[in-house]
Amino acid sequence: MVYLSMLLPASYAFSAEQVTAQQFVNLQQGNTSFAGFRRAHAKGACVTGYFEPSGQLSALTQVPIFAQGTTPFIGRFSIAGNNPTAPDLKSPVRSLAVSFNISPTQQWRIAMNTPPVMAVSNPHDFYQQIAAIKSGPQALKAFFNAHPETQDFLNWKASYTPNQSLALERYHSINAFYLENSQGEKRAVRWYFEPQGHPMDVTSDTDNALFDELSARLLKGSVKFNWIFILSEETDDENDPAVSWPEDRQRVVAGEVAIEQIDMDLNAQCQSINFDPLTLPSGMSATADPILRARSAAYAESYRRRAKEKLLEALQ
Ligand code: HEM
């Protein structure tokens, strides 16, 4: 059995309770698993588009997409939860994942959510948070009361109004990463995609309201976001995804992300991608944030389960 703590730097290993990737995915899929689907963010659609850099980030990282030219990507919009037919407007979290082919040997996979921070700082507490969510509102309230580190997340939640469009949400990296330049200098950063769009007249409250709206919007033109990096200062903790960094931190507009097409087909290309946040190109590296290792292990377990089910289905 591989425990997540074995994948963590020694300073982050848990001395008491440990959570395996299998335990995470068992909890996330719950009693009803949907064969062939992701165990989290099961409902989603593939998109394609391109990134056009401003050039403003290239002094901080060697990743070539920030220097010049446009780079195509495959992406996936999703909503949180294990149900691939869940009603869009009921999900508390919306998401966007993107995958860049950086070179024949390097890819960059990114998965972002609407909150700017997590509620908790480590995998053990995230496991307890999911368990509390599944137990109901009372248990979740008790969980938040027992965890003061959830305050930044709760402040965001109180200020957040879900949009009627996936094109109008802000999508955050939440976890921090290091940018590395050719001189070997490292800077911890977080980032977000800031929407450029405006509300459309068409609103719907069907189960597919958000994906229908996005499809309608894309018929009229591309959906754009500014890709903004937040640069940390010495006093910011890059290993704790529950703590916001001060508002006055320097922000760099790295460029513009344009989404051009959507493909609702369940076998479209993005559906078989594992958006593992530790798939990083040269010029980017992971912080010691223990959540990153937990994510990587859990995504692999979810991927294994759904890939096996797809294979068995194809063999029938
Ligand atoms: C310990 C914490 C976390 C765990 C255990 C976890 C678990 C998972 C799992 C099992 C999947 C399905 C993977 C697959 O089958 O491909 C998933 C998908 C996803 N997660 Fe997480 N997650 C965690 C934290 C986060 C955070 C902090 C973010 C946002 C920054 C995030 C964003 C996403 C997104 C966007 C997807 C869907 C990606 C896609 O479209 O394939 N997760 N997560």
pLDDT in tens, 256-307: 999 999 999 999 999 999 999 999 999 999 999 999 999 999 999 999 999 9
Asked if 282 and 186 count as a contact pair (C-beta separation under 8 A), the reply is no
Contact present, 194 and 169 (Cβ < 8 Å): no
- Position 1 pLDDT exceeds 90: no
**Ligand 1 site, residue 109, Cβ cutoff 6 A:** no
At residue 13, does pLDDT exceed 50?
Answer: no
**Using a 6 Å cutoff on CB, does residue 306 contact ligand 1?**
yes
242 lines ligand 1 (CB under 6 A): no
Cβ 95 under 6 angstroms from ligand 1: yes
Q: Which of 299, 305, 308 to mutate to test the pocket of ligand 1 (most atoms within 8 A of CB)?
A: 299
Q: Which of 295, 302, 310 to mutate to test the pocket of ligand 1 (most atoms within 8 A of CB)?
A: 295
Pairing state between β 171-172 and 94-103: unpaired
Higher pLDDT, 159 or 32: 159
Provide the 10 A C-beta neighbour count for residue 214. 21
More confident residue, 220 or 18: 220
Q: What is the CA 57 to chain-centroid distance, rounded?
A: 21
Q: Is the pLDDT of residue 252 over 50?
A: yes
Kindly tell me if the per-residue pLDDT of 188 is higher than 90: yes
pLDDT for position 241: 98
Q: Determine the average pLDDT of the residues in 4-12.
A: 40
Which amino acid type is present at position 133?
A: I
Gap between the Cα atoms of 144 and 29, Å rounded:
23
Q: 39: CA distance to ligand 1 center in Å?
A: 9
Rounded CA-CA distance 301/295 in Å is: 10
CA–CA separation, 276 vs 106, rounded Å? 13
pLDDT for residue 227? 98
Q: Output the average pLDDT for the chain.
A: 93
Per the rule left: phi > 0, alpha: psi between -120 and 50, beta: everything else, 221 is left
Q: What is the mean pLDDT of residues 221-237?
A: 98
Distance 113 CA to ligand 1 centre (A): 9
pLDDT classification of 207: cutoffs 50, 70, 90: very high
Q: Is the pLDDT of residue 132 over 60?
A: yes
- Percent of the chain's residues with pLDDT above 90: 90
Give the per-residue pLDDT at 6: 43
**Which tokens go with 110?**
């990114």
For range 79-84, the mean pLDDT: 97
Q: In CATH, what class is 4-315? A: mainly beta
Alpha-helical segments (H) within 86-228? 123-135, 137-146, 151-159, 209-219
Going by the annotation, the residues of the binding site for heme are: 299
User: How far is the C-alpha of 284 from the C-alpha of 189, rounded, in Å?
Assistant: 10
Centre of ligand 1 to C-alpha 59, Å, is 30
